[in-house]
Amino acid sequence: MSGSLEQFLTDLSRGLDRTMVAVNKELTLRERIKRTWSMRQCATFLGVSAQYLAKIAGSNADFPAGEYIGRERVFTLTELMHMRALLAATAKRPRDYLAWRKPEDDLPVISFASQKGGTAKSLSAAHFAQYLSLHYGMRVGVMDADPQSTITLYFAGGDGLPTLPDETMPTLVDFAGLFASEDAPYTDHSAEELNSFFQATSWPGLRLIPAHGETSEGEIQIARLVREAPAGKSFYRYLRDAIDRWKSGHVPQTDPGSLAPGGTVDQARLHAALNETLDVIIIDYQPALTLFQLNNVIASTSLVIPQTMKGFDIATLSTFVNGLRGMLQHILSHERIEIGTGANMLLPTIVQRSNGQDLGHISNLLEHCPTEILPVFYLRSDAIANASDVYQSVYEYEPDTPGKRKGINRFISNADAVNDAIVARLWPGLERGYAQAWMDDFYEDDEESVT
């Protein structure tokens, strides 16, 4: 007996909802970010010594109480942000602790894009967003442009977005104004309306524009608008113009040094400051080169291309790069606009250290285009699978065995190095030295294995 495809998909969806896939999602929603950090780890995030932070803790009555697990005192993300506000209040350079934009600063829009699936694109974007929050206290906006909503799963749940988004929740398609209004073929939302599309997450100051199945409508709406050709709007500028409108209505106002008058953090002021604007926007693309994704490219100041290093993958990358270059050349022949004027880079991912082909491709790329490829990259790791099973990054995943903990800590060191390398290109001088330490270790070991 044959049934319809619709019935098959309905039955399969129902079955999946009753399996571990659904259970893992629900577990993540309930227990998002259960990890806490020790005094020493918090000091590392803050860029100070553990002794200095302990001295602050002993002398300031407003220092977070934390929680004792055995003999160790641990702290949450919210308490880490509280520490930042305290340290910024007495610092000569408050932005050393809260790296917030100044009113005259541009808004970086960093996009993670690849034409091929399975390149750790969403993982790279999620870990970079969380790294900026952990190490710099940045206010980060994450935009999910992928209907698979992978990066949304990294941030839904906990104290933020309480449930997985459904078709009633606005997505990037709404933010870009691609749906028709009552009197126009598209909608230019106001700055405040655009701001309302961002959803809170469990990470203080980190907000999300989620994705779900209807995010795929973006391509349909772009095709409609290309056909209708509304006056005064180019088909590739919808997201860029929306971000510009949002940005003009949300200029940075709060001085990071003003959050703790008299040595006590003003919680209402801190909360308002964390939500008044963003210091960076990160976009996670769908693994495709489409007109909707082209809108994301045009809106970006920097492009990061996560890419695996197999021979076939390099060929796919070449197709993506040449296709995107052709699109940009066509646009620039009709309109002289600045596109991707920040640092752009290729990020090798899932590299097998013992695989000569992987390392050979990286070596060739470093030789022929050294400024375009990052010399720090994600190594293949089985440890990340444990965190991915419950849709968590390694920054928030709490291993339940010593063996898992060792693997996770090794991946955290790798992620810190990759993210530090990206920061060094985007904000020169803000890097922490993790990338250089990783390169010293990796390439020294590589040389020794050759000799």
- Three-state SS letters, the chain: CCCCHHHHHHHHHHHHHCCHHHHHHHHHHHHCCCCCEEHHHHHHHHCCCHHHHHHHHHHCCCCCCCEEECCEEEECHHHHHHHHHHHHHHCCCHHHCCCCCCCCCCCCEEEECCCCCCCCHHHHHHHHHHHHHHHHCCCEEEEECCCCCHHHHHHCCCCCCCCCCCCCCCCHHHHCCCCCCCCCCCCCCCHHHHHHCCEECCCCCEEEECCCHHHHHHHHHHHHHHHHCCCCCCCCCHHHHHHHHHHHHCCCCCCHHHCCHHHCCCHHHHHHHHHHCCCEEEEECCCCCCHHHHHHHHHCCEEEEEECCCHHHHHHHHHHHHHHHHHHHHHHHHCCCCCCCCCCEEEECCECCCCHHHHHHHHHHHHHCCCCECCCCCECCCHHHHHHCCCCCCCCCCCCCHHHHHHHHHHHHHHHHHHHHHHHHHCCCCCCCHHHHHHHHHHHHHHHHHC
Other C-beta atoms closer than 10 Å to the C-beta of 358 total: 22
pLDDT (tens digit per residue) in 330-355: 998 988 888 889 999 999 999 998 88
Go through 113-124 and write b for each residue having 16 or more CB atoms within 10 A of its CB, e for each that does not. bbbbeebbbbbb
Reported as a single tens digit per residue, the pLDDT across 140-152 is 999 999 998 989 9
Contacts of 246 (CB under 8 A, 6+ apart): 191, 194, 195
Residue 24, class by beta-carbon neighbours within 10 Å (0-12 exposed, 13-18 middle, 19+ buried)? middle
Question: Among 257, 259, 307, which Cα is nearest to 115's?
Answer: 307
What gap in Å lies between CA 194 and CA 249, rounded to an integer?
A: 10
| In the predicted structure, residue 318 carries a pLDDT above the cut 90 | no
- φ, ψ of residue 369 to 5 degrees: the values are -145, 65
Q: Are 131 and 94 in contact (CB under 8 A)?
A: no
Residue 30: both structure tokens together = 């309930």
Of 321, 437, 448, whose CA–CA distance to 375 is shortest? 437
Contact yes or no for 302/343 (Cβ under 8 A): yes
How far apart (Å, rounded) are the C-alpha atoms in residues 246 and 244? 5
Q: What is the pLDDT of residues 209-253, one digit of tens each?
A: 999 988 999 999 999 999 988 888 899 999 999 999 999 999 999
**Entry pTM:** 0.92
At 164-180, the pLDDT tens digits run 788 889 999 999 999 99
pLDDT in tens, 42-68: 999 999 999 999 999 999 999 999 999
Q: CB 443: neighbour CB atoms within 10 A?
A: 11
Instruction: Look at 13 and 127; give whichever has higher pLDDT.
Output: 127
Q: What is the mean pLDDT of residues 74-100?
A: 96
Q: How confident is the model at residue 448 (pLDDT cuts 50, 70, 90)?
A: low
Q: What is the mean pLDDT of residues 429-443?
A: 95
Domains recognised in the chain with CATH numbers: 101-450 (3.40.50.300)
Q: Using a pLDDT cut of 70, give the percent of the chain over it.
A: 89
* In the predicted structure, residue 388 carries a pLDDT above the cut 80: no
| Average predicted confidence (pLDDT) for the chain | 89
